[in-house]
Structure 1
Amino acid sequence: MKDDRDLFETGLLRESARQRLNDILGEDTIRRLQQRSDFQGAIGVAKCWFAIFLLLGLSWLAMDILNYWSIPLVALCLLFLGGRILALAILTHEGAHRTLFANSKLNDTVTHWLCAAPVYLDLLKYRHHHAQHHIHTGTDKDVDLPLIEGFPTTRRSLLRKFIRDLTGQTGLKSVIGLAMMNAELIRWNVAGVVEKLNRDDWGTLKHFRAFFVNSRRTLIFHTAFFAIAFSLSLTELFALWWAAYLFTYPFCIRVRAIAEHAVTERTGDMLKNTRTTRAGIMARALFAPCHVNFHIEHHALVSVPFWQLPELHRLMQNHNITPPPPNYWQVLKMASSAG
C-alpha cells in the first residue's frame, strides 16, 4: 500500500520540488518536520472546541442579560464562531492527510466524530476528493477549480458573493447540496459542482437509505447536541451553532479559498498556483485557523502536520524558496481588481 506522500505528492513537478527541498533543507530536517504528534493533535482539537463553547456561552449570556444591546455582540460572536467552524473543517483536512494524530486509528476516529461530523463532512469521501486536488493543482483537472474560477472579478461582484454568504443563501444551498450528495443524487464534492448521478435502478426509498447511511455521523452528532442542549434548557446554543454554520461559516470559507488559489497561474508549478498569506490575529481567528494560511508550504510537503507549518515557512523564507506573502486584504484587492 502506498503511503500518504505517494497519494498526495505525485507528478513530475511535485517530485522535482520535493527533491529541491531535500537538497536545500536536508532529509533530517524534513523528517523532523514530518513528525506527527498525538499530543499536538489533541491540543488542536481541544482548543477549537474550547473556543466554540466559549463563543456559544458568550452569545447565550448576551441574549439573556443584555436584551437589545446583545444584537451586535451576538453578531460578533457568530462571526468568530464561523471561523471556529472553519477550524473544524481545517482539522478534517488535516485528518484527511492523516497528520492530525500519529496513531492512524485515533486520527480517523477523532476526525470522524469531533471534526467532520459537526460540519457535515465525510472524512473518507473528502480524503479521496482532496487527493485529486493535490495531484492536479492548478491544472484543468483540479477538482477545486470551481472555488476560484471567475477571479479576478469586480468589487461589486465580490461584495454580492459576500452578501449571499452572510444572508444564509450560500449556507442553505450548501446544506441542500450535501444532503443530495449523501442521498447519492449528485456526485460528492466540496466545490459546489452539481453533477447528477444516473441511477435508473434506484428508487426513492434507496435514496432515503443512502442519505441516512452517508449522513449518519452528522445526524448522530447533532441529535446528541440538540438532546443535551434541550435537557439543559439551552436550545439557543443549538440554534446559534446553526446560525453560524449558515451565515458566517460560508463567508470564512470563501475568503480562505480565495487566498489559497485565486488569481494564481494555471500551471502545475506549486510556487505559482498556490499562495501563502500573511495572517494577523483577526485573520487567524476568521480565515486562517490551524496555520492553513501557509498553503505553499502545505502543498510542498503535505505530510507536515499543521503545527509544524510555521517552522517550514520560516525555513523556506530563509532560503528564498517562496516569495514574501501578501496579507488577506491585499489578496482580496487582487481578487476584485477586474473592471
Structure 2
Amino acid sequence: MAVAPRIDPKTLFSAQEWASLSNRSNWKGLALIAHAWGVILAAAAMVVIWPLTLPLAIMIIGGRQLGLAVLMHDAAHGALHRNLKVNDWAGENLTTGGLHRYRPYHLTHHKFVQQTEDPDLVLSAPFPITPTSLRRKIIRDLTGQTWFKQRFGLARSQLAARKAGEPLLPILQAEIVRKRRMLIGAAITIALTAPFGLWWAWFVLWLLPQATWMQMITRLRNIAEHACVARDERDPFRCARTTYAGPVERALIAPYWVNYHCEHHIFMHLPCYNLPRAHRLLLAKGLGPQMEIRGGYLEVLRLAASKGVSGGLAPA
C-alpha cells in the first residue's frame, strides 16, 4: 500500500506565508455555517412571497445544502474552528451531520488518493464516459431517481444486515443518524409552519432541493475533483483538480471554495476560506503549469464526457 505523495509546505512558502495560510479562525467557519442557513431561509422566504421563484430557490437551497456538507468536510479536517471540541460539535450538529463516521473514511481517501485503496476511487474510475451516459446520469439526478435509489439501497442493506445479525457498516450507521435527524427536522419544521398554512414548506423547500439539484451538483463536484485524473498519480500537484468558478457557479454549484480541490489535497488541513489565497501564492511562485487546473465546469464536463468523441479534450 503506497500512500499518496506529500509536499512539505515549508519548501513552497515562507514561514510568514504558511503561518497566515494555516491560521484557523474562531469565527469564520461558524460564520459560514450561519451564512448557509441564512441563505436557505432567505430563499425559502422568497418562494413564500413569490411562488414563481421556486425553480431558482431549489438551485439556491440545493447549493447551500451542498455548502453545509462542504463545511462538515472542513470540520473533518479540524479546520472549522481552532478548538477541536467546538469544531467537532459544530460539524456534527450544525451542518449535515455524520462527522465522526465520515472523518476516518475521508482521511483514507486523502491517504490513498487515486490509488486502489482510495474509497472514493469508484466515483472517478468510470470516466471518461459518453455524452449520452452523462446526460442520463444528470437526468436521473434532477428527477430524484438517484436520491431514491441511494436511500432505498441503503435501507435495504440495513434490513439485510439486521436480519443476518451482522454489524452495520459505518456508512449504514451514518445513514441511520441522518434519517433520524431528517425526521426530527421535518417534524419541527412542519410543526412550526403548519399553523401558518405552510405545512408543505419542508417537502418543497428542503426535501425537493436535496433530492434533485443537490444530487446533480454533488455529482458535478465529484467529476470536477478527480474524474480523468490518472490512476496512481505520483505528482501531488496532479492528484486532484482545481476548477475555476465564476459568481453564478459559486452561488449555485461550488459553494465555499470547494472548487480549489488541488490545493486542498496538497494542504489538506487549510481552512476552505484560505484556499483561494494558497492558489494565488502557488501561481505567483510559477507553479501553475504543474497543477491540474481547468477553466470552468463546462470544460470539465466536456472532458468527463469525451469517450467516443473525436477531437475531445485530452485526458488530464
Normalising by structure 2, what TM-score? 0.86
Deviation at 1:106, TM superposition (A): 1.6
Partners of 2:150 and 2:72 in 1: CA distance: 17
2:210 pairs with 1:234? no
Residues 184 and 198 of structure 1: is their aligned pair in 2 closer, same or farther, counting only changes over 3 Å?
A: closer
- Map Cα deviations across residues 116-165 of structure 1 (whole Å, 9 max, x no partner): 24xxxx11111111011000101111111111222111111111110000
Partners of 1:296 and 1:184 in 2: CA distance: 39
2:82 pairs with 1:102? yes
**Match among 107, 132, 145 for residue 156 of structure 1:** 132
User: Is the Cα contact below 8 Å between 2:47 and 2:57 reproduced in 1?
Assistant: yes
Paired position in structure 2 for 1:326: 295
SS of structure 1 residue aligned to 2:95: helix
Contiguous gaps of at least 5 residues in structure 1: 1-9, 64-69, 186-196
Partners of 2:265 and 2:159 in 1: CA distance: 30
Percentage identity across aligned positions? 34
2:217 pairs with 1:252? yes
Partners of 2:102 and 2:199 in 1: CA distance: 30
Q: Which amino acid aligns with 2:230?
A: E
- Map Cα deviations across residues 189-227 of structure 1 (whole Å, 9 max, x no partner): xxxxxxxx5984359xxxx99976674444433332332
Deviation at 1:80, TM superposition (A): 2.1
SS of structure 1 residue aligned to 2:243: coil
Q: Which amino acid aligns with 1:236?
A: W
- Map Cα deviations across residues 2-24 of structure 1 (whole Å, 9 max, x no partner): xxxxxxxx94621xx2x2x3122
Partners of 1:144 and 1:329 in 2: CA distance: 22
Residues 180 and 85 of structure 1: is their aligned pair in 2 closer, same or farther, counting only changes over 3 Å?
A: farther
Ranges of 4+ aligned residues in structure 1 off by more than 6 Å: 208-211
SS of structure 2 residue aligned to 1:309: helix
Partners of 2:174 and 2:286 in 1: CA distance: 50
Q: Which amino acid aligns with 2:124?
A: I
Q: Which amino acid aligns with 1:56?
A: A
Deviation at 1:247, TM superposition (A): 1.1
User: Is the Cα contact below 8 Å between 2:4 and 2:110 reproduced in 1?
Assistant: no
Partners of 2:173 and 2:39 in 1: CA distance: 35
**Match among 41, 56, 65 for residue 53 of structure 1:** 41
SS of structure 2 residue aligned to 1:25: coil
SS of structure 2 residue aligned to 1:88: helix
Deviation at 1:29, TM superposition (A): 1.9
Partners of 2:240 and 2:146 in 1: CA distance: 25
What pairs with 1:173-252 in structure 2 (closer than 5 Å)?
A: 173-179=149-155, 183=158, 200-201=164-165, 215-240=179-204, 241-252=206-217
2:256 pairs with 1:276? no
User: Is the Cα contact below 8 Å between 1:137 and 1:268 reproduced in 2?
Assistant: no
Partners of 2:15 and 2:34 in 1: CA distance: 32
Partners of 2:87 and 2:153 in 1: CA distance: 27
* CA RMSD of superposed structures (Å): 2.5
Paired position in structure 2 for 1:92: 72
User: Is the Cα contact below 8 Å between 2:245 and 2:296 reproduced in 1?
Assistant: yes
Q: Which amino acid aligns with 1:81?
A: I
Normalising by structure 1, what TM-score? 0.81
**Match among 224, 228, 236 for residue 263 of structure 1:** 228
Partners of 1:213 and 1:282 in 2: CA distance: 33
- Map Cα deviations across residues 2-61 of structure 1 (whole Å, 9 max, x no partner): xxxxxxxx94621xx2x2x31221233222211111210121011111110111111222
Deviation at 1:180, TM superposition (A): 5.3
Partners of 2:156 and 2:93 in 1: CA distance: 21
User: Is the Cα contact below 8 Å between 2:4 and 2:234 reproduced in 1?
Assistant: no
Deviation at 1:184, TM superposition (A): 7.7
Residues 202 and 79 of structure 1: is their aligned pair in 2 closer, same or farther, counting only changes over 3 Å?
A: same
User: Is the Cα contact below 8 Å between 1:137 and 1:270 reproduced in 2?
Assistant: no
Partners of 1:212 and 1:253 in 2: CA distance: 21
Q: Which amino acid aligns with 2:132?
A: R
